[in-house]
Every structure is written in C-alpha cells, then in structure tokens.
Structure 1
C-alpha cells in the first residue's frame, strides 16, 4: 500500500467517524428537545417516552431538522413560539456535542 492509499483510507475513516458523530449528536439533540417540550406539555413519564420516539421519528420525514422543529412547534401551540423552539434546539445540539466529546 502506498502512502497515498494510506492517506486516502485515513481520510475515509475520519469522514465516516465524523458523520457518525454528527448523526449521534443530532439524534441526542432531538431527544433533549422532545424532553424539554414534553415537560412544558406536562407529559407523564410513560407519555414522555412515547413523545420522544414520535419526535425522533419525525426527523426522518425530510433531510435536516426543520421537520422536528415544525412538529415540536405545532405540538406546543401557544405555549411556545418557533423562535424559542429553534433556540432550544440549538442549545440541545450544543449540549449533545459536548456530551459526545466527553464520552470519546
């Protein structure tokens, strides 16, 4: 194997690792956002588990996280606005990334 092949393999491995970490951070952020919204909605522990799954599933409707934001904003109704939900998701993502870095 040449040096070029080694570098190419290392780059591919890093890319795969980075994408996996990004996926995990996004999923964790969605869970945190669902827990935040569920608390505002007054969900019980059992209802919260179901709600978290619903929010995570909503992320598969389209690329990006706008589908999650729409769902949570709609679920909260007049209890929160879209800007607050968006800000909370950004905070959840930052927390998720920090947690993942701490686990590494």
Structure 2
C-alpha cells in the first residue's frame, strides 16, 4: 500500500461523509420548510403539518435542484386560495437551510 492509496481512501471517505451531511441538511431543510408552509399558509397543525412536511421532503427526490419543492409549495398554497412569491419561497428555503445546517452540525 502506498501513500497515494492511503490518501485516495481518505479523500473518498471524506467525500462520502460530506455527501451524507449534505443529504441530512437538505432533508431537514425541506422538513422545516414544509412545516413553515403548513403552519403559516395552509393552516395545518400537528400530524397534518408533519405529513405535509414529509410530502415536501419526498417531492425533492423527483428531480435534481429545488424547483420541484418550490413548485409543490406554489401549487399547494395556490390551492389553499393564497399566494406566495418565488422570492419568499427562496427566502424561507435559505432560512430553513441555515437552521438545518446548525442543527445537523451540532449533532
């Protein structure tokens, strides 16, 4: 085994760890975002709000990027007879990501 092999394994392990952390942060962010939208825009509480948050987490697996989550939020808020701007969705997403990052990193 060479130093190069050791370094390669170390880099691969670090990459896997970073990807796992990113995945956890992203899922937690989407859950927090779903709870915020459920409470503030859809009037959902308790188990209904949690179920909606889980739906937001799951919709993120449909396509790469955040557009699938934003589209779900826009459609659900619109169906509830309210409106929300793309700017506000992005702002809430950023706030929830900061909170999720802090939470995951403190674990």
When the two chains are superposed, the root-mean-square deviation of aligned CA atoms in Å is 1.1
Matches within 5 A, 1:1-80: 1-40=1-40, 41-77=42-78, 78-80=82-84
TM-score between both structures, scaled by the size of structure 2? 0.90
TM-score between both structures, scaled by the size of structure 1? 0.92
Taking the aligned partners of 2:46 and 2:3, their CA distance within structure 1 comes to 54
Count of aligned positions: 103
Q: 1:44: Cα distance to partner?
A: 2.5
The answer to whether the aligner puts 1:86 opposite 2:87 as a matched pair is: no
Structure richer in helix, relative to its length? 1
- Stretches (4+) displaced over 4 A: none
Structure 2: where are the runs of 5+ without partners? none
